[in-house]
C-alpha cells in the first residue's frame, strides 16, 4: 500500500492510499471493547477478577448500567446492562460479534491461562494450533465467546 508521509492538518500523521484511490488517515490500534451483558456488576467482577482489571467508571442511569474497566497495560473493556430489554444468550451465529481474543506473548502464558481457567472451573478448549496462531477458547457468564490468542511466531 502506497503511503504519503504527511497530512496537511497534522504533518506527523501518515496517510495511506486506499484501493479507491483516495488518501486517508490510518488507525493506530483499538481503544476498547464493550459487551452487552445481563448483569453489569456480575460481569465487571468476573472480568476484573480473571484479567486483573480496575474499575474506571460505574454509571447507573434509567434503563442502563455501565461499568468501564481498565487493564494496567491501558486497554479498556466495558460492560453494559440494559434493564428494559429482553435477556437472551449470546450467539456468535447472529449478526454482530463473533468472538473477542485477548493476546498473550508466549506459549508459557497460554499454558498458564489454561491452568487458571481449569482452576476456576471455566469451560475452555484445549490449546489449539491454527495456521495463524495458537488459541484457547472459553466463554464469559453471558456465553460471550472469548479467546486467549498467541499470534503466529509468538
Cell matching residue 116? 487458571
CA distance 54 to 92: 27
Using the predicted structure, report yes or no on whether residue 5 has a pLDDT greater than 50: no
Q: How confident is the model at residue 12 (pLDDT cuts 50, 70, 90)?
A: low
Question: 93-145 pLDDT, tens per residue?
Answer: 887 889 999 999 999 999 999 999 999 999 999 999 999 999 999 999 999 99
Strand (E) or helix (H) holding 54? strand 54-61
In this predicted structure, what is the pLDDT of residue 123? 97
* pTM attached to this predicted model: 0.82
The CATH architecture of the domain made up of 31-87 is Roll (3.10)
Superfamily holding 91-154: 2,3-Dihydroxybiphenyl 1,2-Dioxygenase, domain 1 (3.10.180.10)
Domain pair 31-87 / 91-154, same fold: yes
Amino acid at each position: 500500500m502506497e503511503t504519503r508521509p504527511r497530512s496537511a492538518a497534522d504533518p506527523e500523521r501518515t496517510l495511506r492510499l486506499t484501493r479507491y484511490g483516495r488518501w486517508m488517515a490510518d488507525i493506530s490500534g483499538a481503544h476498547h471493547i464493550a459487551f452487552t451483558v445481563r448483569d453489569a456488576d456480575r460481569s465487571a467482577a468476573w472480568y476484573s477478577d480473571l484479567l486483573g482489571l480496575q474499575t474506571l467508571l460505574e454509571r447507573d442511569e434509567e434503563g442502563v448500567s455501565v461499568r468501564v474497566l481498565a487493564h494496567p497495560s491501558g486497554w479498556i473493556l466495558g460492560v453494559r446492562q440494559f434493564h428494559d430489554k429482553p435477556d437472551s444468550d449470546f450467539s456468535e451465529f447472529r449478526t454482530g460479534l463473533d468472538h473477542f481474543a485477548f493476546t498473550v506473548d508466549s506459549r508459557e502464558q497460554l499454558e498458564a491461562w489454561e491452568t487458571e481457567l481449569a482452576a476456576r472451573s471455566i469451560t475452555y478448549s484445549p490449546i489449539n494450533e491454527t495456521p495463524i496462531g495458537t488459541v484457547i477458547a472459553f466463554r464469559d457468564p453471558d456465553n460471550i465467546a472469548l479467546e486467549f490468542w498467541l499470534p503466529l511466531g509468538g
